Amino acid sequence: MSETYGLNFKIGAAGVDIFFVISGFIMWVTTVGKPIGPREFMWRRIIRIVPLYWIATLATFAVAVLKPQFFFDTNSSVGNLLGSLFFVPIIKDEALQPVVEQGWTLSYEMFFYLIFSVSLLLPEFRRLWFLIVILGAVVIAHFLLPYGYASIFTQPIILEFAAGIVIGHLWKQGYRLPFRVAMGLMIIGVVLLIASDPLIHLERAVRWGIPAMLLLSGAVFAERERGVPQLAFLHFLGDASYSIYVWHVLTGILVTALLLRLGVPHDMQPMPIALGSLAFAIVFYLGIERPIQRKIRSSRPRPAYRN
């Protein structure tokens, strides 16, 4: 939307890099010291990610077929639909192009989950080094492989998951940073993001990955020192964040179509689109994602705990 309306907010795309670092962090801290194997881990991630993504993909595909004028850059072929559902969409301009535009990030997530699940076969210390070595080797392979899916899935952005894992390991080991130092890391991360526009020639994992790593490091270690206020509204937005992410393009398009029908001037559309898209995504969270997750959790047998 920022390009369409000339808002010059290109660093907004760095949210993906922050998300990848956070993902590595969460996967590590939620599995350390817990008896979870590869099968259980992958099943948990699949039931968390796939149901809503499939619904959003099918809905987007249906709208793209019915109203192709709003999806001029979307491949709405049946082949791409099937590929998108299984996280291997078509490749265009050296990037993944799923039906749900932002779904390319979930393809990388699933690839990371596969690697992470294998690491669960190892003791904790070996797991850490296995993940670092494997993710590093994957990136090295990127520069040796021919163009194709193997080359796409091994791009250096994968290293952002490794950065999150390292931060998670340090956090679980009880490492501490003075509050001012932690806040300083966050400030440096923000400054680097703001100043990143002229560095377009740098690899994304460097240009946005390093600031993302600094932001997360500062945030988690600052929280350890001072804590953060528990705000119900922000907690709710956090719970709804996956729905917001998965639906925001489709809902943004739908709101745009409504504004055009109402005759809202072009320069007055960005704020209504942002707020309307957020509102629709929250409705979808309450009406679709949350009921699905509750149903899945209630239908799963509870594990038998041993004394």
78-104 pLDDT tens trace: 999 999 999 999 998 889 999 999 999
Would the pLDDT of 300 be above 80?
Answer: no
User: What pLDDT does residue 306 have?
Assistant: 42
Would the pLDDT of 202 be above 60?
Answer: yes
Backbone phi, then psi, for 202, in 5-degree steps?
-75, 155
3 within domain boundaries: no
User: What pLDDT does residue 283 have?
Assistant: 93
Instruction: Give the C-alpha separation, 14 to 249, whole Å.
Output: 17
Structure-token pair, residue 30 = 């939620």
Instruction: Give the C-alpha separation, 60 to 245, whole Å.
Output: 14
Q: How many helices (H) does the chain have, and how many strands (E)? A: 14, 2
55 pLDDT tier (thresholds 50, 70, 90): very high
301 pLDDT tier (thresholds 50, 70, 90): low
Would the pLDDT of 25 be above 60?
Answer: yes
User: What pLDDT does residue 5 have?
Assistant: 52
Would the pLDDT of 215 be above 50?
Answer: yes
147 within domain boundaries: no
228 pLDDT tier (thresholds 50, 70, 90): confident
User: What pLDDT does residue 156 have?
Assistant: 95
168 within domain boundaries: no
Contacts of 84 (CB under 8 A, 6+ apart): 57, 61, 98, 99, 100, 103
Structure-token pair, residue 165 = 């894992």
57 within domain boundaries: no
Amino acid identity at 126: R
287 within domain boundaries: yes
Range in 243-252, 254-263, 281-290 with the lowest mean pLDDT: 254-263
Cβ neighbours around 63 below 10 Å, total: 19
Would the pLDDT of 302 be above 70?
Answer: no
Contact call for residues 282 and 238 (beta carbons, < 8 A) = no
145 within domain boundaries: no
> How confident is the model over 127-153, as a mean pLDDT?
93
202 within domain boundaries: no
39 within domain boundaries: no
Would the pLDDT of 221 be above 70?
Answer: yes
Domain count, the chain: 1
Range in 25-29, 97-101, 262-266 with the lowest mean pLDDT: 262-266
Q: What is the residue range of 256's domain?
A: 231-302
Would the pLDDT of 207 be above 50?
Answer: yes
